[in-house]
Amino acid sequence: MEMSLKGYLASGRVLIADGATGTMLMAAGLPAGAAPEIWNIEAPVQIMALHQTYLEAGSQIILSNSFGGSPIKLAKYGLAERAVELNHAAASLARQAAGDRAYVAGDIGPTGELMEPLGELTPDTAFEAFKLQAEALVEGGVDALWIETMSDLEEARAAVLAAKQVTHLPVFCSLSFGIKSRTMMGVSAGRAAAELWPLGLAAVGANCGEGLDMIPEVLRQMREAAPDAVLIAKPNAGLPRIVGKETVYDVGPDDFARQMQGFVELGARVVGSCCGSNPEYIGALTAALAGQG
């Protein structure tokens, strides 16, 4: 890319991210019950191919295949000891795919454990796990870290603080909101932005979640709570429905792109798609935004 990611974000231009990884890998044959991160070692060609399809569709920043790469999450698959190796591989595959024509964000998702007092996860344990993951991703050559799909504010904070401790690269954080603009753990969009943006984020916003209808309210609350924030909108392709044995999402690429254009008008500057989407969604979004420009 011709400029640093910080410079790009400061320019106020829209940055197009990628779409779903997990649902795409399952479609590509990732066995049910397998950790997607194991494919960074065992099927790197598939991971590279997925990155390539998003880059060809117009993604300017792609997320590494490391969503479940915290050692706490990997422990559920007996892979905790391989956390450094799997995250490093995720970052370097994304870097190889993007070369210098797109930015790479090291993806960090939730641990899957509940924080105290509901569960046993403590802020310190979460911090250490995210720190190990963040270090391996940075070492693997990313341009940014992107903490996503968070619903617990304390877990999100632990991840942001860990990321900020290991790198001066831009750190993004997006949370997953339900239809009432609150996360599963009850955190409002306004509170999330008010507490996370001052930690020194490069962008804050929403990804995944229950469809697209809550995005305008999420953006409004975040803008009010953090007027200077760079806002992210990377929602699912609508709501999931079970048809036969398959899960399908109810918003198609063109409808998705049209709604996303509206979110850009409301201030979103980092845009993309999440579960149920594929490169067609990013292609439609890229075309729609080019027409708007």
Report the interface residues with Zn ion, using CB under 5 A.
208, 274-275
Query: In angstroms, what is the minimal distance from the CB of 22 to Zn ion?
Result: 7
Which CB sits closer to Zn ion, 134 or 206? 206
Measured CA to CA, the distance from residue 107 to residue 92 in angstroms comes to 12
The DSSP code sequence of 105-142 is EEEE---SSPBTTTSSB-HHHHHHHHHHHHHHHHHTT-
Look up residue 122 and give its amino acid.
T
The DSSP code sequence of 172-183 is EEEE---TTSB-
Which CB sits closer to Zn ion, 23 or 188? 23
CA distances from 167 to 125, 131, 171, 193, 245 (A): 19, 10, 9, 21, 43
Query: In angstroms, what is the minimal distance from the CB of 274 to Zn ion?
Result: 3
Query: In angstroms, what is the minimal distance from the CB of 19 to Zn ion?
Result: 9
Which CB sits closer to Zn ion, 187 or 275? 275
Structural contact between residues 90 and 107, judged by C-beta atoms closer than 8 angstroms:
yes
Structural contact between residues 220 and 267, judged by C-beta atoms closer than 8 angstroms:
no
Structural contact between residues 96 and 129, judged by C-beta atoms closer than 8 angstroms:
no
Which CB sits closer to Zn ion, 67 or 103? 67
Instruction: Indicate the helix (H) or strand (E) that contains 225.
Output: helix 215-225
Query: In angstroms, what is the minimal distance from the CB of 68 to Zn ion?
Result: 13
Which CB sits closer to Zn ion, 167 or 183? 183
Query: In angstroms, what is the minimal distance from the CB of 20 to Zn ion?
Result: 6
Query: In angstroms, what is the minimal distance from the CB of 81 to Zn ion?
Result: 28
Structural contact between residues 9 and 202, judged by C-beta atoms closer than 8 angstroms:
yes
The DSSP call for residue 228 is T
CA distances from 174 to 57, 64, 76, 84, 194 (A): 22, 15, 24, 23, 13
Which CB sits closer to Zn ion, 166 or 270? 270
Look up residue 120 and give its amino acid.
E
Query: In angstroms, what is the minimal distance from the CB of 206 to Zn ion?
Result: 11
Which CB sits closer to Zn ion, 124 or 246? 246
CA distances from 183 to 80, 153, 186, 205 (A): 27, 9, 5, 12
Measured CA to CA, the distance from residue 54 to residue 73 in angstroms comes to 26
Query: In angstroms, what is the minimal distance from the CB of 208 to Zn ion?
Result: 3
Which CB sits closer to Zn ion, 166 or 208? 208
